[in-house]
Structure 1
Amino acid sequence: MTDLNIEVTIDGETYTDAQLAQYEYQRDLHVLHELKDLGVKVSDGDHELSHKDINWTEPKKAAAISLGIRQNLGADGAYDLFKDIEKDTERRWKEYLVDYKPEDSHVGVTKIHVTGVTIPETLPVMGGGHGEKQALSINPEHYIVQGAITNGEQQHGMEVFGMFGEPTYITGQATDEIPAGLPFKKDPHYVKSMFGETLLGSDETNIHLGAMHEFLPEENGFSMKSTFFCPGKAPQAIADGHKIHFALELTNSMKIAYKLKQ
């Protein structure tokens, strides 16, 4: 079996696995602090962690504690925990939509080349089709993942966009069409594509935020290009951060897919 090898570039700049692991660790710590602030008991075994203890928690343990809490909360628990924050989050997104012009959208591009796993092996993990635990584990700022978008289902979720701000409760469905006016087009180099915009979960307002994922099968693996976009009135930090969010989510999906085939 071909060894797993993953190469990542974000807007043309190379990111190593070690660099991405540091981003992931910082987001795990951030999530643990936020959960504790909201009243969730954050524990390592029988020992409840203080904010100082969280800062002294090593990466693998921080990830395991965070995943365990988010999984135990479940969709109803997570939504209830963030319900007041969600109202503020939706208000902000609607403010970003005032005088929306698609051509002004922030855009960021994450490219990945992988050997050792194929597109059919990776897509179900990436799309949430292998169950809630794996869907939550591929990114530390996933709080709810319901439905498998790669199966043509309408997916419901709650996540932080771009590692910036607070969680947004959303729904969405993959399509093949890109709305007019966005400052990017399908790349003819890639033979398969999947586009999606997100709607607010409460009232289905289209916040004109989403992604185009494009795929090219290759010998013993594949290449993919993920283009993130969001309204131009939203902070640039959202687009800058979500390029890294994609890199974590997609490379973690590839690692899980590789383990599943062994």
Structure 2
Amino acid sequence: MKNIKMTIEYDGGRYLGWQRLGDSDKTIQGKTENILTKMTGSEIEIVGSGRTDAGTHAKGQVANFKTSIDMDLPTMQEYLIRYLPQDIIVKELEEVPERFHARYHAVGKKYSYYVWNNVVPSAFERNYSFHYSEQLDLEKMNKACEKLIGRHDFIGFSALKKSKKSTVRTIDEISIQREDNLLHFTFIGEGFLYKMVRILMGTLLEIGSGITALEVIDTIFESGIRSEAGMTVPAQGLFLDEVYYN
């Protein structure tokens, strides 16, 4: 039995997210499992590094599956590229040790979020960024990023109602790059809670546009109250860039 690690790129715009759903075939996991099952002739279940929301994209999602099929990796990749939808691409296949688990063995993730910051929207960027027309104070936003970096309880920056598991996470880096009207935010950390990056982004934008004070971050860390944080920005600006493993 071989354990195969996949690196997958996808445009999430027309899908209901990563996770397989019983009442819909419009998921990344579902589409990929269907093609793998046809390729191998046996029922295949894949394990992803984590879920992405409906509309979220990925440049480096990681998953693994087990199979006994006698097929080399280049032939397997060629089959997947040929039969998967064009908005789901298996970029790389690698045979890994039997115990490798895409989710449990992940030690960090890198996300990007893109904001089109101009009064006039973009016809070309609309599917891959969030149009935000307010003027932004990047210096203030960078100060907010500094407050968010480190180990904190991020429950107030998530859409979790309650959690028996720890909601403490470490963020190693948040950076902002501007190229004309397009802002590129990078988030790197050990892991992220449900909708955490999108809520952090909404908070940063509200701080940058003067809707919210910089000190709100300290307040949310103390209170853990979601309603004190910013909006949940739309999913189309969010990309899972990379998953890190030891």
**TM-score normalised according to structure 2 size:** 0.24
Larger Rg: 2
**TM-score normalised according to structure 1 size:** 0.23
Which structure dedicates a bigger proportion of its chain to helix?
A: 1
